[in-house]
Chains A and B, each alone.
Chain A
Amino acid sequence: LAKTTQPISMDSYEGQEVNITCSHNNIATNDYITWYQQFPSQGPRFIIQGYKTKVTNEVASLFIPADRKSSTLSLPRVSLSDTAVYYCLVGESPDKLIFGTGTRLQVFP
């Protein structure tokens, strides 16, 4: 199972764009890159998933370079409600996902 490495914490201000990078050097050919968000005392919530290049949905974008050894979650114009822990996971199916340490994002007014 591919291991991921993320910054432990990040700070931002409301309205700024936040980019969280995840390193996954031993990602396998069939692995997808998936990001989850977790608020305190709640279950994680799926944000976005990608395999290569760029994926965008209504809440975030995911950038994946050609070698797929890293990925960057981009949150446009964050608000206070985006304060949470963000997890990057790699795996080929839901039952093969391992949560890493995650990045604790704090958004200030």
Chain B
Amino acid sequence: DTEVTQTPKHLVMGMTNKKSLKCEQHMGHRAMYWYKQKAKKPPELMFVYSYEKLSINESVPSRFSPECPNSSLLNLHLHALQPEDSALYLCASSPQGQKDYNEQFFGPGTRLTVL
């Protein structure tokens, strides 16, 4: 299984809602990533988990809260978002500790709309 899955595909939420995005991989990868991508812009790294521990947090607002319950799952909890947070949220994974191979496996993304 060489796939990263993300649910839901689409999400519409109000600014007072609490929702979660889910990402799953069964490739045995120990590094997992969250990216945010606005229309016609490159993906922006938000968080990196390494061996289920948060290793990189790119100064993301606290209304985004990541969680890695186990080595296969990655969640992104959303609370009190703003309309400008509307974007495609991408999850990716890669084998940990590889310094000579830069392949990340990306999921299809969750299209988030904040009203």
- Residue positions of A touching B, CB distance < 8 A: 30, 32, 34, 41-46, 49, 87, 89, 91-95, 97-102
Q: What's the A-B contact tally at a CB cutoff of 8 Å?
A: 65
Interface contact A43-B106, CB-CB below 8 Å = yes
Contact A94 B98 (CB under 8 A): yes
Contacting residues of chain B (40-69) with chain A, CB-CB under 8 angstroms: 42-45, 48, 50, 55-56
Residue from B44, B55, B106, B108 in contact with A95 in the complex, judged by beta carbons closer than 8 Å: B55
Closest 5 CB pairs of A and B: A43-B106, A99-B42, A94-B94, A34-B102, A46-B103
Chain A nearest CB, measured from B14 CB (Å): 23
Chain A residue with the shortest CB-CB distance to B42: A99
Verify B92–A41 contact, CB threshold 8 A. Answer: no
Number of B residues whose C-beta is below 8 Å from A? 30
Cα distance A94–B33 in the bound complex, in angstroms = 10
Q: Which residue, A32, A95, A101, has most C-beta atoms of chain B within 10 A? A: A95
- Give the CA-CA distance A78 to B69 in the complex, in Å: 43
CB-defined A-B contacts under 8 Å, sample of 23: A32-B100, A34-B102, A42-B108, A42-B109, A43-B91, A43-B107, A44-B106, A46-B102, A46-B103, A49-B101, A49-B102, A87-B42, A91-B102, A93-B102, A94-B98, A94-B103, A95-B31, A95-B55, A97-B104, A99-B42, A99-B44, A99-B45, A101-B42
Most buried by A among B43, B55, B95, B101: B43
Closest chain B residue to A91, Cβ basis: B102
> B42–A43 contact, CB under 8 A?
no
Kindly list chain B residues whose C-beta atoms are within 8 Å of the C-beta of A94.
31, 94-95, 98, 101-104
Residue from A34, A44, A95, A98 in contact with B48 in the complex, judged by beta carbons closer than 8 Å: A95
